[in-house]
Structure 1
Amino acid sequence: MPRPNGFHPEAAHRCLAAILLAATAAAPVMADTGKLRLTGGVSTIEGAAGGGISPWAVIGGPGAEGQLGLAAHVSRAETQDYGLTAYGVTAGINDRLEVSFGHQDFDTGITGTALGLPGLHLKMDVVGAKLRVAGDAILDSDTLMPQIAVGVQAKRLQSSGLDATLTALGAKRDGVDFYVSATKLFLAQGILVNGTLRATKANQNGLLGFGAKLGGASDDYELMPEFSVAYLLRKDLAVGFEYRGMPDKLLKAGRAAGLGEGLKANDWKDFFVAWAPSKNVSLTAAYVDLGRVVPATTKGKRQTGVYVSAQFAF
């Protein structure tokens, strides 16, 4: 998917931020009843409503039709060699439009030390928008019709000590993801299934830049699948599994740089449990498997660990 002529990530950030401010100012009544618990998902690490690592077609916040719903989240993931802190806000307008902002702070741990940059943190901002284009997860729960939404996420990796390395690999510090999601809720059975197809250039979600050119590596968009399934044990408690495909754009560039398989990436997975003690609070814990993340500096270990997140909605 080539970038449209005249399209720039900086303009996307400004445009989506303007949508967030304008939509919030012009939105309908604040939500006071809203959706059933957990049927609106939780907050992803990028800010959009969904699971922890993949957006769903649901609109964030507790607001139903004719309402404005707001949500804020903070999340933390820890693996053997890395740590990630994420936080953000989401606004759902009329259960039709969602706008979001997310910030990620990635502690490079052993990799930063190996690069002579101990204490290196990679920080990225994500501005997103999502539009429900068909279906209704609740009203269509007794049919086969899923809720369908399209979304965009403009991402910018802040300048850091890794800039020179990314430039040498031919990776950029900004990029835009496009996705379409379909969410099917079987309310009587307590099962939710989501499928997302994402067009992206992001390396490790964008924390290692976007695309690569060294050694003839690809700088084109790739279509990556994502899948989620959740089972409602009761109205306030759910368990589930997520899968997110990851491009492997840095592999060829790493080989050209003499690193062999040292920049290879793997798909992400998690097993989660989500608890909503009230309509305004949800807590999520998960076992995560991020595969190999810069195996050149981590002896090829799979990065597994824990993820916790808290969301507050009103």
Structure 2
Amino acid sequence: MTRVGRVFSAGILMIVVSANLQADTGSRLWATGGVTSVEGSAGGGLSPWALLGGYASDEEVGGTLTLSRAETDDYTLSVVGAGVTWKNRIELTLARQTLDLDRLVFTLKEGFGLEGDELVQDVLGLKVRLLGDALFSPWGQWSAGLQHKRNREFTVPDAIGAKDETGTDVYVAGSKLFFAAVMDRNLLVNATLRGTKANQGGLLGFGGDRNDSYEAVFEGSIGLFITRQWLVGTEYRQKPDNLGFATEDDWWDVFIAWVPDRRLSVTAAFVNLGDVATLEDQRGAYLSLQASF
């Protein structure tokens, strides 16, 4: 078993044990913490939402532990993360992303003479609920956040034209749950506006030879509660295009989330990342496990 595989297996055990040990999971309603994005913030798989992680009410502290993995034709991304939410007002998260380069290793060796078979990035997140409530406020819940990202190895991003090894994304998100909106089923809608310089979410550095300025990009999510425990939906994430090395495409997915218990959720998705660093049509499967308390 590879090192990443061992970490993934250990993470599954950690989450299951943690979920079973948590007796108090907070006072907020079922599934109102969302799942966890690939950058560690509460939301969908691809994008942060205005919702805060866990089930802590205005008088409680809660949090999450998360393990995610996405496998496309030529890449594998593994994410381990944790978050704490204070009184349903402030969310702090930390995530580590590990991208196995797979076929791209050969491209980099031929074009740049580079060694190494993975990229690692740490993401520190802060989100603050500004106003409203996703369930009961007419205009939903609104939050602002930032994600500070740091490449642990900058050789590859530097070689393909990235300007910086660290960067900070800022965003504003709005989430609203519409009761009995579609065939008497509840509908969750989120819109996020992000300011970013990140290449492929920051895994390929920040800024580039085409553009080294912040760009505003849109992210949207919509999900339908089939039952209390099952949510299906889709996400779209617009991307900047900073590097002359390769065009960066927008991301989208179709997901299904299962929340069998307030302490545990499982999300599976089909993801389409488009062309990534010269390798075309990166499509594949995504799986995320989350324990909440």
Contact 1:31 1:68 in 2 (8 A): no
Matched, 1:292 2:275: yes
Q: Which position in structure 1 is the counterpart of 2:252?
A: 269
Instruction: Measure, in 1, the Cα distance between the counterparts of 2:118 and 2:34.
Output: 29
Matched, 1:74 2:67: yes
Contact 2:25 2:292 in 1 (8 A): no
| 1:118-139 CA-partner distances (Å, limit 9, x unpaired) | 6510000000100011101123
1:134-153 equivalence runs, <5 A: 134-140=131-137, 143=138, 145-153=139-147
| 1:227-254 CA-partner distances (Å, limit 9, x unpaired) | 000000111110000000010111xx33
How far residue 160 of structure 1 moved from its aligned partner, in angstroms, is 5.1
Instruction: Measure, in 1, the Cα distance between the counterparts of 2:123 and 2:223.
Output: 25
Q: Which position in structure 2 is the counterpart of 1:45?
A: 38
| 1:254-298 CA-partner distances (Å, limit 9, x unpaired) | 3xxxxxxxx111000000000011000000000000010012xx3
Instruction: Measure, in 2, the Cα distance between the counterparts of 1:112 and 1:160.
Output: 15
Q: Which runs of 5+ in 2 are unaligned?
A: 1-22
Instruction: Measure, in 1, the Cα distance between the counterparts of 2:272 and 2:157.
Output: 27
| 1:94-152 CA-partner distances (Å, limit 9, x unpaired) | 11111100110001111112212565100000001000111011232xx3x11000001
Alignment counterpart, residue 212 of structure 1, candidates 191, 199, 208: 208
The change in CA–CA distance for 1:110 and 1:185 in structure 2 (over 3 A counts) is same
The one-letter code of the counterpart of 1:207 is L
The change in CA–CA distance for 1:35 and 1:53 in structure 2 (over 3 A counts) is same
Q: Which position in structure 2 is the counterpart of 1:245?
A: 238
Q: Which position in structure 1 is the counterpart of 2:288?
A: 309
> What secondary structure is seen at the aligned counterpart in 2 of 1:176?
strand
Alignment counterpart, residue 197 of structure 2, candidates 177, 197, 201: 201
Instruction: Measure, in 1, the Cα distance between the counterparts of 2:179 and 2:59.
Output: 22
Q: Which position in structure 2 is the counterpart of 1:15?
A: none
The one-letter code of the counterpart of 1:310 is L
How far residue 72 of structure 1 moved from its aligned partner, in angstroms, is 0.5
Contact 1:31 1:63 in 2 (8 A): no
Instruction: Measure, in 1, the Cα distance between the counterparts of 2:107 and 2:26.
Output: 52
The one-letter code of the counterpart of 2:251 is W
Contact 2:89 2:128 in 1 (8 A): yes
How far residue 38 of structure 1 moved from its aligned partner, in angstroms, is 2.0
Contact 2:188 2:224 in 1 (8 A): yes
Instruction: Measure, in 2, the Cα distance between the counterparts of 1:84 and 1:226.
Output: 20
Alignment counterpart, residue 192 of structure 1, candidates 188, 191, 194: 188
The change in CA–CA distance for 1:281 and 1:32 in structure 2 (over 3 A counts) is closer
> What secondary structure is seen at the aligned counterpart in 1 of 2:106?
helix
Q: Which position in structure 2 is the counterpart of 1:114?
A: 107
Q: Which position in structure 1 is the counterpart of 2:48?
A: 55
Q: Which position in structure 2 is the counterpart of 1:10?
A: none
Instruction: Measure, in 2, the Cα distance between the counterparts of 1:309 and 1:274.
Output: 9
Q: Which position in structure 2 is the counterpart of 1:231?
A: 224
Instruction: Measure, in 2, the Cα distance between the counterparts of 1:109 and 1:119.
Output: 10
How many residues align? The count is 263
Instruction: Measure, in 2, the Cα distance between the counterparts of 1:82 and 1:130.
Output: 29
Contact 1:109 1:118 in 2 (8 A): no
What's the TM-score, normalizing by structure 2?
0.86
> What secondary structure is seen at the aligned counterpart in 1 of 2:47?
coil
Instruction: Measure, in 2, the Cα distance between the counterparts of 1:187 and 1:148.
Output: 18
What's the TM-score, normalizing by structure 1?
0.81
Instruction: Measure, in 2, the Cα distance between the counterparts of 1:163 and 1:81.
Output: 18
